[in-house]
Structure 1
Amino acid sequence: MRIGVVTFPGTLDDRDALRAVRLGGGEAVELWHGEDDLHDVEAVVLPGGFSYGDYLRAGAISRFAPVMDKVIDAARGGMPVLGICNGFQVLCETHLLPGAMIKNAHRSFLCRDQPLRVENTSTAWTSDFSADQVIRIPLKNQDGQFVADERTLAQLEEEGRVVFRYVAGSTHGPEGFEVNPNGSRHDIAGITNERGNVVGLMPHPEHAVEPGFGPDEPGQGTRTGTDGLGLFTSVLRSMVA
């Protein structure tokens, strides 16, 4: 299964995402922001970073890259699309996902291992998880606060479209943000569209795909660090189902 990873000017997690695709069992395909060709991929990952230096606002310029016209059309046709961190911001700018990402509530860059609860396992990217499973993956952002109007938030909750939610468990970070690291409404860390093929999340599953290198639950004595791999195996399963 061919899974494309888009590189924009300022992207810095594309190599990690390509590696995650391969470790998940897929064929990783590099996609360039300036091309209007998806090269016959069957899913797309928009990785993290600071595309176009986050000028105007995070993801605002990348939304108009030639490749994004193809990604938007493909997503609307049902192709699985995953946006990680900056990629989530881009998906909000395209309106493939609702809401917006703004500066962290504490106005500082944040980097830590973050526990998340998986609340929707019916998306193309989460079927290999268990309902209410708590996973632990890295979080690093400065524009990670998810906001939306009350009507949109209610709709996301009622339709079960909150995919990941921040939960307690981290002992790091500014005081008052142990559970919700950036002030996101309803502790939302990731959401999906109505169809379930488009998912965006702020934390970085591509940094938790290889034993011994990713985060582990403190005090367990061993490091597995593969909690993020499920997103990349899930999408493969969804494409052959």
Structure 2
Amino acid sequence: MPEGHTLHRLARLHQRRYAGAPVRVSSPQGRFAGEAAALDGRTFVRAEAYGKHLFHDYGPHGIVHVHLGLYGTFTEARLPEEPPFGQVRMRLTGRTHWTDLRGPTRCELLSAVETDAIKDRLGPDPLRSDAQPEQAWRRISRSRTSLAALLMDQSVIAGVGNVYRAEVLFRHGIAPMLPGRSLDAALWKDVWDDLVALMRAGVRSGRIDTVADEHLPEVTGRAPRKDRHGGEVYVYRRAGQPCLVCGTPVAQTELAGRNLYWCPACQPA
């Protein structure tokens, strides 16, 4: 599932390509046909991301809410290239580009009130200027739930997924199963600030890189990481491989249906 930096990249891209001008909206698949017809030819006001949610705002005509889920993807290209056939839930065509959306968990036309209700259910997003990290801290500092679970709870922090969760815990030497209420307030501030920096870097580069300069392949002489997720990371999807810092085999378990990775030596219980 794409993490928050991906949705913010998409919001910036769609803002540049479509905002301030009328767009053609269609649904070749048919499952969004009625909503698309209501928006076709309307002005695309702006694109915005909040956590793992993307919003296309058409002003008084409504807001398209997209959640990609596990299988949703956007395909983009410049005109006059023709978009391909296929199961396209929503197609946008502007003056210079077209964008196809396939396989999302959610693609729906909402009112401003309904959109606000979705945002109100989410925790602070490290990539948003209006984020209030103290809101997340109030939840974390009172909880017996593990930090590994809390960081994946979108009502606590919006936009953090499996990769950022594993990596930020490693970078701060935090045992994944530490209860939230056992976390020191100063350490929480460091974790939040690190998430902001890491996710902003992800928006810029389009990939997740969490490894410090002294642990990069060109410095240590190890082979670069080869993984469809891209980016240099410490523990994510490295189960059984030596920790890049201490050499201990990276551990793996399942937590709430998702794989969890950590270094038992660098993140002692």
Query: How does the TM-score come out when normalised to structure 2?
Result: 0.22
User: Relative contact order: is structure 1 or structure 2 higher (C-alpha 8 Å, sep ≥ 6)?
Assistant: 1
